[in-house]
Structure 1
Amino acid sequence: MKVLVATEKPFAASAVEGIKKEVEAAGHELVLLEKYTEKARLLAAVKDADALIVRSDKVDVEVFDAAKQLKIVVRAGAGYDNIDLAAATAHHVVAENTPGQNSNAVAELVFGLLVFAVRNFYNGKSGSELKGKRLGILAFGNVGRNVARIAKGFGMEVCAYDAFCPTAAIETAGVRACASVDELFRSSDIVSLHIPATPETLKSIDYRTVNLLPKGGILINTARKEVINEPELLKLLAERTDLKYITDIKPDADVDFQQFEGRYFSTPKKMGAQTAEANINAGIAAAKQINAFFADGCTTYQVNK
């Protein structure tokens, strides 16, 4: 089988080496398409591929139309909104992600950003500490659990809400379970978002919800930009000068959060999974999942129907 790794932003060399080792050990052929700047190159490369590994690369209906032999596509990472799942299903292609491989990297970034924020972005003025602060985690999956683990090391009080995670599972992790999103925001000094971008969550973090944060509240988003109602959050930050918003996702071009100097920060690009370890882990996991699929039809991490 031919396995194509198509990455506009390439894996680290050590990750590519690990992927190649896994794929070739299973008797498959690895083909690389890196740093491509035109979609036409992807369409040409995927024509005879049986499997496809991507990072944030868009895999839409045009790609599936071109990939006549494609049987499986794996997004090396947790999020998979860059893959058209309906098109994958229509073309009888299994779509998978690699959950958990980037979770520690994202969780550590949360605290890198939080320390930066509570210390007033290192502007020389007196800030505050995370110890004793109340942290609310929205979604208690792999990343949320790692955030909770690290928060305890800082001496924070931790609560969480997840519509799909049983209360008992949250409490077993030593975290207080909230009954609703509203309760989470009302009872937290800081809320960290880890929800996926789904029809139910799109723009769900809006004026009303964020306004439930107590005075001096901080909203941190290392999940997906699409879950934020950016115009409404912009309006709220203008009205409530006590709030801070920090993220590793740049806003839409027409939304000017930069006006809130000292209360807003965004990294130049999405940084959650940008560690050598996460890069390697996700790439090798993708290769192993493809090997398992071809070996015995394993679809444990399938995200389409």
Structure 2
Amino acid sequence: MYNIKTFNAIAPVGLADFTHNYQINNEHTQPDGYIIRSVDLHHHQWPTSLKAIARAGAGFNNIPLASATNNGIAVFTTPGSNANAVKELVIGMLIAASRNLFTATTYAANNSGADISLRTENDKTQFNGSELINKHLAVIGVGHVGSLVANAALSLGMQVIGYDPFLSADAAWQISTDVKRADSLATALENADYVTVHVPKNEHTLNLIDADALTHLKDNTILLNFARAGIVDNSAILTALNAKQLKLYLTDFGEEALLNRDDVIITPHLGGSTLEAEVNGARQAAHTLMTFLETGNVINSVNLPNMQVPFNSDYRLTIIHENIPNMVGQITTYLAQHNINIEGMANNARGAVAYTIIDINKTLLLPKDKILATLMAIPAIYRVRLLDNPK
């Protein structure tokens, strides 16, 4: 029986996908896995039993990856689970911004009286907007969300250019061939009427849209950030807004300096806040945890290399360790010395962290606890698990 602990509101429909081998128990002191959303774990004390964390969403800045890895905890996200929700919000904001709906609805809500119809007819020209058709949209980051936004904008008649230096082959298949591809951020920005950002937050994308990037925009560009706080430099944004270089900034991430401005529209982190996205995230998180806990296979991890190895043997060793020389050699030497036959092996690395899967036969001459304890005693190993084939 595996014990799962949840944080935040996790959709019950998704949790129902767990099989009878799993128990959702938020009072359990030694859980095997967490499913979380936005809870901040940076000062969290890890239970020794915890083997995996699945974040129902694409971001993971609320999880201290180094600490989790050092404690042998695999960390997963659910990329794409809320992609459609974010896409629909971005398209809605593009339309609302182009038609000045925010100021227009505020005006209408604050007008009353017998002559309201006459005044509305006289005043409505101040809210004249423009149509999106044939306007230029720059999509910065064309992964799960960006590709959907790009394709949807094309269907509205926009001219779309995408920029993504980290575009994977899988993501490339999702993008219409009608989306032009820029070879630099500057090229993507220079003719844009609208810019929308959809990159993950990491050391490469922090303040990606900064003062230098904004110099490539033409006047009166509209910028949207529904990806992550920190990707856009808000101080540079304020300077560009004050200079009328930017016409409007729409973001899902509020900050004190952005408040009370007519040229800034802030939504309260609504990107993935739909019933459907919450269910998708919970379901994907549940299946990711079950796969890892039962087979050791790694899908959509952010601290371990992705590995999917068929589990055909009776037992499987999974080992999280440092990516340094002779680690695999030490492990296999120990197994050979104790006549433990290796039927299959896979090893891969993600930066400084490596993951090894070793399938062994049913001849175990040593107690399982002794095998685990001896392997854990090898320096630079974070966690060892010995799994029975769930077949």
TM-score normalised by length of structure 2: 0.68
Alignment partner, residue 173 of structure 1: 176
Q: How does 1:1-150 map to 2 (within 5 A)?
A: 1-7=2-8, 10-11=9-10, 15-19=11-15, 21-23=16-18, 25-32=19-26, 45=27, 47-60=29-42, 62-63=43-44, 65-120=45-100, 121-123=102-104, 124=124, 125-150=127-152
**1:47 match: secondary structure:** coil
Closer/same/farther in 2, CA of residues 140 and 26 from structure 1, 3 Å limit: farther
1:104 offset after TM fit, Å?
A: 0.6
**Would you tell me which structure has more strand in proportion to its own residues?**
2
Which amino acid is 2:156 matched to? F
Alignment partner, residue 38 of structure 1: none
Q: Deviations over 1:235-288 (max 9, x none)?
A: 12111265211111112x2x13533x1x22001x10010111101000111001
State the Cα RMSD in Å: 1.9
Alignment partner, residue 36 of structure 1: none
Closer/same/farther in 2, CA of residues 275 and 94 from structure 1, 3 Å limit: same
CA contact (8 A) 1:170 1:176 kept: no
Q: Does 1:194 align with 2:189?
A: no
Measure the CA separation in 2 of the matches of 1:190 and 1:171: 21
**1:109 match: secondary structure:** helix
Measure the CA separation in 2 of the matches of 1:256 and 1:287: 37
Structure 2, unpaired ranges of 5+:
105-123, 305-391
Q: Deviating runs (4+, > 6 A) in structure 1?
A: none
TM-score normalised by length of structure 1: 0.86
Which amino acid is 1:181 matched to? L
**1:226 match: secondary structure:** coil
Measure the CA separation in 2 of the matches of 1:26 and 1:301: 24
Which amino acid is 1:264 matched to? V
1:180 offset after TM fit, Å?
A: 0.5
Q: Does 1:226 align with 2:208?
A: no
Closer/same/farther in 2, CA of residues 68 and 185 from structure 1, 3 Å limit: same
Measure the CA separation in 2 of the matches of 1:172 and 1:51: 35
CA contact (8 A) 1:47 1:68 kept: no
Q: How does 1:283-302 map to 2 (within 5 A)?
A: 283-302=282-301
**Would you tell me which structure has more helix in proportion to its own residues?**
1
- What is the number of equivalent residue pairs in this alignment? 279
Q: 1:160 aligns with which of 159, 162, 170?
A: 162
**2:165 match: secondary structure:** coil
1:187 offset after TM fit, Å?
A: 2.5
Measure the CA separation in 2 of the matches of 1:171 and 1:276: 24
Identity %: 32
Measure the CA separation in 2 of the matches of 1:51 and 1:150: 37
